Structure 1
């Protein structure tokens, strides 16, 4: 799907290059530049894109935006090819954890100066900003975030005498144990929900992998990471989630919708799937941030979402930077967050979503957000994913340290193929 302002008539594109770059559009004045932007399907609504285009072009009379919607399937190969070619788009939306992979190609524009001087990078959500920063240079600029929260059944909480959500891990375990009775599951937590495990590992001070003198190595066998897995095992046992499958096998929202599950861990959008399967639960759903080890702050969570990058070879550097500045600035961050139920890229903008219960809860947890390791080869780890069988092994009684060492060694080998 391609969304852009239709030209008044068919025009032949004339290649005109000068010291300042190429891209002048005949018929739009000598100084009008066409800027191509790739956004991913469903990241923003058509209406949002059209509003942004109209406003941006009104504010920048010399720019014509050409926003092209891309499919997630196969996008990695398409972006790799674009970064190596001569006709790359000027701005590209990418998954936040994909930035290190693209930065390794040397094909991205360094926007460190703009980030520090103009865009307040010190206030960005860490789960978006950190993966966009490679070797001290900011290549990915945070656009929007999403993370997991606890979705709970208010009626089951009330029946168990629980009047408010837990504030720390100890309360969470105690409450979940109360809820795990009378044929109800205290929590539905699949055995291979590794993104949730990652948060517990980070809370303990551990890592999935860590860099050591330039080399990346698996780190699930550290004492801190093992403590995170131990907590996961305690929590998972307070329900009937399968030990050998992830949260989509079967889809956990469908299990929750039967009305016998008190809690599940998911992005707030999971509530829509629950309500679709069982409309009677629509008014019975609540949200709270994943509790941390103490009540001082919510637990760490994996931050998903998108960053914006600019190919280094763009002939329209100034205009591309203006597009990124607008999309990641307060006005359009607020608009995108309220339109799409996203977390904006700065905690200071979170009040914009206070009227949306699930999104507001997500925003509170996002302040503790993290991302997967910045290793360029991390996508290979996720494709093979030795973390999942490791979790299943531990839940089934295997020696945690030995199982973690096996998984860590496999991660290390994948990071250095």
Structure 2
């Protein structure tokens, strides 16, 4: 799910498809092997980064190898178990994938560097928290992307909505005003569970929690989680999104492009797909953060993105941490964010994307971002997602508490069964 989220964020760029960004000469240097994922950084960015890094670190040489998302989990697990010198020294992993690699015992503890040198107190929570286990930091935030509200500026003006809403109550009221003259105030599919998760987090709830015995339990039946679902129900009812499908069935960009929808919740990059499908909408789209319960801060959102990890079996920990420090540092964070339209890894760097309306809206929301529960077995939940079925049943009129308990039981069983 994480790579689908980011795929529509990447700006059009020539991507590195061959293995390696290697300089000439430098045979007396130690080589640091870095695995990065396809689409995370442009070829030009990697060339510039490599040249600058090797200039500043005369004893190191970079071997950057681009990996495909398909099958990456198994490939990383195998690399973490290697005992020869061919293992990577730094690996980019999805923020929600860190848990499974920590569970296997293959990652280095980077807490000391994080506390001393890397400014961990300013990291985006949606990237930092999934990389932290029992107060130890294994995953270092690299970049993020998250959902915002994409809206039609012309339809807002026509309905007399002068500025984007700042609170949930304003959002409901404005959406109801927009839901007229044949237009949908919002298009929100019934099974958009990542958007639901944000509303649940805003209310103080969660999808699952770690119990005292160390096991995980589904928590959709808690009062806070039920309040989040109730807000989702009220908002979804102001449009014509299908209650039994997610945002990709049908693709919501195509629905929006037909010209009768005022808002949808998506990553900003989806605006490009909308404009390609309907060029008449170019210049008419705007962005704002998902509103929160109060105007003090935006709503919580699911944060997708990447962390950088250092395997325990690295042959050059100093070299590996030097690469992580550079990639996660302010200079190259700023360059990456501006090049790829990402959110930087620290709240203090949000100003780097202030000139891009969509990315700036993402950055505002990312400060309240979260990730899915950090159980190494969470992928088992998503494989046959009970949250989607729960949402459909509630939106179709079933009792929320009853259906939430059933979904939570399925989440608990999935996490327990996969962990055995």
TM-score computed with the length of structure 1 as normaliser: 0.94
Aligned residue number for residue 347 of structure 2 = 347
Q: Does 1:297 align with 2:294?
A: no
CA deviation string 1:172-191 (max 9, x = no partner):
00010111111100000000
Q: 1:6, 1:287 → 2: CA distance? A: 40
Query: How many residue pairs get matched?
Result: 398
CA deviation string 1:26-64 (max 9, x = no partner):
x712xx111111100101111111111111111111111
Aligned residue number for residue 45 of structure 1 = 42
Aligned residue number for residue 274 of structure 2 = 274
Q: 2:368, 2:23 → 1: CA distance? A: 45
RMSD across aligned C-alpha pairs, in angstroms? 1.1
Q: Does 1:34 align with 2:36?
A: no
Q: Look up the SS of the partner of 2:363 in the other structure.
A: helix
CA deviation string 1:204-233 (max 9, x = no partner):
110000011111100001111011000000
Q: Look up the SS of the partner of 1:196 in the other structure.
A: helix
Alignment CA distance shift 1:268-1:336 (3 Å): same
Shift of 1:8: 5.0
Q: Look up the SS of the partner of 1:243 in the other structure.
A: coil
Q: Look up the SS of the partner of 1:2 in the other structure.
A: coil
Q: Is residue 291–residue 299 contact of structure 2 (8 Å, CA) maintained in 1? A: yes
Structure 2: which 5+ runs fail to align? 1-16
Q: 1:158, 1:144 → 2: CA distance? A: 34
Shift of 1:5: 4.0
Aligned residue number for residue 187 of structure 1 = 186
Aligned residue number for residue 164 of structure 1 = 163
CA deviation string 1:242-267 (max 9, x = no partner):
10111011110111111100000001
Structure 1: which 5+ runs fail to align? 10-26
Following superposition of structure 1 onto structure 2, how do residues 250-399 of structure 1 map, counting pairs within 5 Å? 250-399=250-399
Q: Look up the SS of the partner of 1:162 in the other structure.
A: coil
Q: 1:204, 1:88 → 2: CA distance? A: 44
Q: Quick check: which has more Rg, 1 or 2?
A: 1
Shift of 1:269: 0.5
Q: Is residue 2–residue 67 contact of structure 1 (8 Å, CA) maintained in 2? A: no
CA deviation string 1:257-280 (max 9, x = no partner):
111000000010011111111111
TM-score computed with the length of structure 2 as normaliser: 0.93
Q: 2:76, 2:381 → 1: CA distance? A: 20
Q: Is residue 22–residue 62 contact of structure 2 (8 Å, CA) maintained in 1? A: no
Q: Is residue 124–residue 347 contact of structure 1 (8 Å, CA) maintained in 2? A: yes
Alignment CA distance shift 1:179-1:223 (3 Å): same
CA deviation string 1:76-102 (max 9, x = no partner):
111111111223211000000111111
